[in-house]
Amino acid sequence: MQLVSVCLYSTLGELETIEFNPGRLNIVTGVSRTGKSVLVKIIDYCLGRSDIPTSAGNVEKALSWVGALWQLNDGGRAYVGRPLPQGQKKNEQALLIIGDAALQPPTPPLEPNMNTKTMRLVLGQRIGIDESQIDPPPGSLRDPLRTHLGHAAFLCIQNQDEISSSTRIFHRSGERGVDDALRDTIPYFLGAVPPDQALQKALLRHEQRRLQKLERDLRDAIDAVATIDSELLALHTEAIEAGLAEPLDPETPGRSRAELVTLLHRASRDASLVPPDTAPAQSQDAERRARNELELAEDDLYQLLQQRLLLLDEAEGSSDYEDALNIQVGRLTSLDLLPLASEGPSPGPEHNEGAEDTEEPAKPVVAGRCPVCGQESEDPTSGQMRTTLEKLKSQLANIRGASPAKSEALDDINRRIAEVQGRVRRGRLAVDSTFAATSAVGRDANRRQDFTRGRIDAIIARAPEADEGHAALIRERITVAEGTIEELQRQLSDDSARERLTTRLNGVGRDLTKYAQELGLEHSDKNVRIDLAELTVVAEVDDDPVPLHRIGSAENWIGYHVTSHLALHQSFIRHDRPVPRFLVLDQPSQGHYPSEMDRQAETATDADDLAVRKLFRKMYDFVAENDGNFQVITVDHADFEETWFQSSIVKNWRDQSDGPVGLIPAKWIARLDGSTGQGAQDEA
């Protein structure tokens, strides 16, 4: 997307266009107060900004609408028109027309057909911006951000006061919400986040919801496998009581699920086996028997649970007693380090040939004496304590020997409890079945049989799902869903995005360093990069990050603004990112001769002229190297005689021989009361 023309509409419906050349360097040069900066604001306004681009004065009085004709990458064109309501500071109305390569600016009268938000979305989608939703960091109070053309415009415009900033390098940086929007959207425009991130996030949410449903289905399938046999058996009992089936042979072993299903199918299709007038009594008998069996099963379950509780209490008490014994054994074990009392005195020297004559005989350990100090004591002897120790060890051995038996008893009770729980579950199903049938039809046996047939059809329909094969199929689907979720989370992970962003920024940094070296900017012999956290340029000087404001001089600030944007757009072009292929620069020469008076008085030095020429030549060469894929538009005081520079000029607002020249035609200004002279253009 590149600019073809800017359209100005007078209050009388006249149309004036300023033509630009796509794929080239376009220079608008002229003296001060000719409307050059207003031209930049109009371009920004036609990209969807709400601020009115003119200030109070003749320009505002002379214009009713402004517009921009854009050349699209697919060969088509788009026209964006914006009204200029008198006396207002902001406006959200827009006119958008999309057509083929022959589209021209419309003639008055013009009417808006949408608001700027819709215009940005529609035109942004046309150039490839996919409305990717960018979620704020965890814990942030900001709303999710949807990318649009207005975010791309931050990377395509540099106003006069922005291009010389020593702190921030992006358009409108520092305004409320803009810095966060830049940090969020630049990774998207660089291609560091997937182009279909919004679609992938929606797919991830869908797969997560699907996984939750599959997990619920699996739990239901497992429960169905555990209860379907009991339900079928209870249903067969209900069919018997309703007169639809014959009682099972008590001598026949337990029926399989397939046999029960076959019997129930037959009961559902065949005629009743019991006369209708006997059915109510049989139903009541069946309900009474079912309740009796349920009560017996619940009593057995209660008794087993009590036995289990007693066994656990006994085991816990034994454990406490064992702990106490272990403490006592630990205290008495030190006796193994002392000699036995019954051993008597230690042998003297005459019994030990290896002992020296000077060695004194050891004192005997005598009962009633302390085995440590040898004094008489009424405390138990070590032998008595050793006897106690042996008794404690014996008791511990008995307790530990009983533990396996208790464990086996506990396992047996748990097994019996599980069996009785199955009886209780089947009993409750039987009670529910007989009670439902009886209460639903009362004494009408025919209705009861119809009701039972309906229950048979409903439960048998669920029988295939109550199968291990069905559960296994759900498990396979869960595995596939988990794999899909894991892959989507990997693609959307913060780590992957950071790696891709670092790679893209490293490429931008290499181009930025190269361009800065060509312009001879300070510290360009080091690695220079864009710092997204601070939205500025940083030079790595002796492993110390030096931000732009520490580099110094307006020449360096402007130079790094221009080169950083060229490096960014080179990355956008290289990776085919959906960013408009143009850059608008307002007064890039101001770092060398900040005023037109200096230029006219020839106070600028040869070094200043050389630096400005190098800056413009870099823009010219950059556009040429990209072979029509990029456009640079600059408004400036500079005007050099070189052929390449003169061929790039699209407007020269210097010749005043026929009256005031500038953005607004002289005849429009002349119609305004008191509007004569150069100052009629209002804005510099």
Residue 282 has pLDDT above 90, yes or no: no
Asked if residue 268 and residue 392 are part of one domain, the reply reads yes
Residue 252 has pLDDT above 80, yes or no: no
Residue 412 inside a domain? The answer is yes
According to the model, what pLDDT value does residue 630 have? Answer: 96
According to the model, what pLDDT value does residue 371 have? Answer: 55
Comparing 12 with 201, the larger pLDDT belongs to 12
What's the sign of the alpha-carbon dihedral 452, 453, 458, 464? positive
Q: Report residue 396's pLDDT band, with 50, 70 and 90 as the boundaries.
A: low
Q: Report residue 589's pLDDT band, with 50, 70 and 90 as the boundaries.
A: confident
Residues 6+ apart with CB under 8 A from 560: 169, 512, 516, 521, 528, 537, 548, 551
According to the model, what pLDDT value does residue 94 have? Answer: 94
Asked if residue 248 and residue 105 are part of one domain, the reply reads no
Q: In DSSP terms, which residues pair with 636 in a beta bridge?
A: 29
Q: Taking residues 188-199, what's their average pLDDT? A: 73
Residue 447 has pLDDT above 80, yes or no: no
Residue 602 inside a domain? The answer is no
According to the model, what pLDDT value does residue 280 have? Answer: 56
Mean pLDDT of the chain: 77
How far apart are alpha carbons 236 and 239 in whole angstroms?
Answer: 5
Asked if residue 456 and residue 325 are part of one domain, the reply reads yes
Lowest mean pLDDT among 46-50, 213-217, 311-315, 393-397: 393-397
Residue of 122, 35, 115, 58 lying closest to 82 (CA atoms): 115
Residue of 679, 673, 635 lying closest to 661 (CA atoms): 679
Residue 365 has pLDDT above 50, yes or no: no
Residue 475 has pLDDT above 60, yes or no: yes
Residue-wise pLDDT tens digits, 429-445: 777 766 665 655 444 56
Q: Taking residues 466-474, what's their average pLDDT? A: 71
Q: Taking residues 27-36, what's their average pLDDT? A: 86
Lowest mean pLDDT among 295-299, 311-315, 646-650: 311-315
According to the model, what pLDDT value does residue 594 have? Answer: 60
Asked if residue 376 and residue 236 are part of one domain, the reply reads yes
Lowest mean pLDDT among 182-191, 341-350, 463-472: 341-350
Residue-wise pLDDT tens digits, 522-548: 988 888 899 988 999 999 888 788 898
Number of domains in the chain: 2
How far apart are alpha carbons 258 and 252 in whole angstroms?
Answer: 15
According to the model, what pLDDT value does residue 338 have? Answer: 46
Asked if residue 225 and residue 123 are part of one domain, the reply reads no
Residue of 56, 64, 69 lying closest to 83 (CA atoms): 64
Asked if residue 232 and residue 119 are part of one domain, the reply reads no
Residue 647 inside a domain? The answer is yes
Q: Of 446, 476, 506, which residue constitutes the final position of a domain? A: 476
E strand or H helix at 461: helix 445-462
Q: Report residue 9's pLDDT band, with 50, 70 and 90 as the boundaries.
A: very high
User: Length of the chain, please?
Assistant: 684
Q: Report residue 403's pLDDT band, with 50, 70 and 90 as the boundaries.
A: low
Q: Taking residues 621-646, what's their average pLDDT? A: 92
How far apart are alpha carbons 508 and 581 in whole angstroms?
Answer: 16
Asked if residue 122 and residue 248 are part of one domain, the reply reads no
C-beta atoms surrounding 59 within 10 Å: 24
According to the model, what pLDDT value does residue 446 have? Answer: 67
According to the model, what pLDDT value does residue 399 have? Answer: 56
Q: Of 458, 476, 494, which residue constitutes the final position of a domain? A: 476
Check if the beta carbon of residue 655 is closer than 8 Å to that of residue 661.
Answer: yes
Asked if residue 254 and residue 121 are part of one domain, the reply reads no
Residue 384 inside a domain? The answer is yes
How far apart are alpha carbons 51 and 43 in whole angstroms?
Answer: 12
Residue 332 has pLDDT above 80, yes or no: no
Q: Of 452, 476, 500, which residue constitutes the final position of a domain? A: 476
According to the model, what pLDDT value does residue 621 have? Answer: 94
Residue-wise pLDDT tens digits, 496-510: 677 888 899 999 999
How far apart are alpha carbons 530 and 169 in whole angstroms?
Answer: 9
Residue 12 has pLDDT above 60, yes or no: yes
Burial category of 547 from C-beta neighbours within 10 Å (exposed 0-12, middle 13-18, buried 19 and up): middle
Check if the beta carbon of residue 116 is closer than 8 Å to that of residue 540.
Answer: no
According to the model, what pLDDT value does residue 674 have? Answer: 53
Check if the beta carbon of residue 314 is closer than 8 Å to that of residue 479.
Answer: no
Residue 92 inside a domain? The answer is yes
Lowest mean pLDDT among 75-79, 94-98, 331-335, 408-412: 331-335
Residue 175 inside a domain? The answer is no
Residue 274 has pLDDT above 60, yes or no: no
Residue 5 has pLDDT above 90, yes or no: yes
Residue-wise pLDDT tens digits, 58-113: 777 888 999 999 999 888 999 999 999 887 889 999 999 999 999 999 998 999 99
Provide the b/e sequence for 60-98 (b: ≥16 CB within 10 Å). bbbbbbbbbbbbbeeeebbbbbbbbeeeeeebebbbbbe
Q: Taking residues 18-32, what's their average pLDDT? A: 92
Residue 229 inside a domain? The answer is yes
Residue of 562, 620, 625, 622 lying closest to 592 (CA atoms): 562
C-beta atoms surrounding 449 within 10 Å: 23
Asked if residue 236 and residue 92 are part of one domain, the reply reads no
Asked if residue 315 and residue 454 are part of one domain, the reply reads yes
Asked if residue 441 and residue 297 are part of one domain, the reply reads yes
Asked if residue 449 and residue 322 are part of one domain, the reply reads yes
Percent of the chain with pLDDT over 90: 27
CATH number, domain of 412, equals 1.10.287
* Residue span of the structural domain in which 671 resides: 1-127+638-684
Percent of the chain with pLDDT over 70: 64
Residue 351 inside a domain? The answer is no
CATH number, domain of 71, equals 3.40.50
Q: Report residue 350's pLDDT band, with 50, 70 and 90 as the boundaries.
A: very low
